[in-house]
Amino acid sequence: MPGRIVAGTCGSLGSLTALHRAREEARAREAELWVVLAWQPPLDGPGARRGPGGTPLLAATRDAAVARLQDALDSAFGTGAPGVTLTGLAVRGTPGAALLEAVRDADDLLVVGTGARRPLLRVLRPSVARYCLAHAPCPVLAVPPSPLRADLDAVRRRIAWHRPLDTTGLLPSPAPHRPGPPGSSPAPAPYRRSGGTAA
């Protein structure tokens, strides 16, 4: 029986590249494609504390994860057939552990996306690709982001850099000018910044 292709997604543009590569691998191997999206209830919330009976918050978080998974699959493969047998799983847990749970045996292939991450994000959320490379019982294919992703990020940075600074409501409105007694100097004008940098 052919191995299973397991791929992770979070719904981001970067994960779509990994999904496309996973589909190519599934076609080449005539294997099933399993796409996993991990989700967790809000930390320290009622959904995280209570048992299997479930809470409205827990159910809403799970439903939102299922909707995100469906959106990710539609974005990656369209609404038609992806050309392979496809199974989508929204799994409660951390991304690395959820992916390893979907692996069936050593003949499977685990496909994960990689990419540059900000230092703070590396500390708060360790790399899923590194976790899988260290713990997976099967081969792992680490897929770098598309070159178009770097171009898109560069465009977004340029737009953010040139976006005017919105200072609406940050400074109080100037008080109406009331002339002082004869011979007094006028009040200084209030400092205001309207979008560009101050001279």
What is the domain count for the chain?
A: 1
DSSP 8-state assignment for residue 192: -
Band (pLDDT 50/70/90 cuts) for residue 136 is very high
DSSP 68: H
In a domain, 159, yes or no: no
Note whether residue 76 is domain-resident.
Answer: yes
Q: Determine the Cα–Cα distance for residues 31 and 27; give it in Å rounded to an integer.
A: 7
On whether residue 23 sits in a domain, the answer given is no
Domain containing 100 equals 1-7+28-105+135-149
Is residue 96, in this structure, part of any structural domain at all?
yes
pLDDT over 90 for what percent of the chain?
Answer: 41
In a domain, 52, yes or no: yes
Assign 23 a pLDDT band (cuts: 50, 70, 90).
very high
Give yes or no for residue 50 having a pLDDT over 70: no
The burial of 40, by beta-carbon neighbours within 10 Å (0-12 exposed, 13-18 middle, 19 or more buried), is given as middle
pLDDT in tens, 53-76: 458 888 999 999 999 999 999 999
pTM, full prediction: 0.65
Q: CA-CA distance, 81 to 11, in Å (whole number)?
A: 19
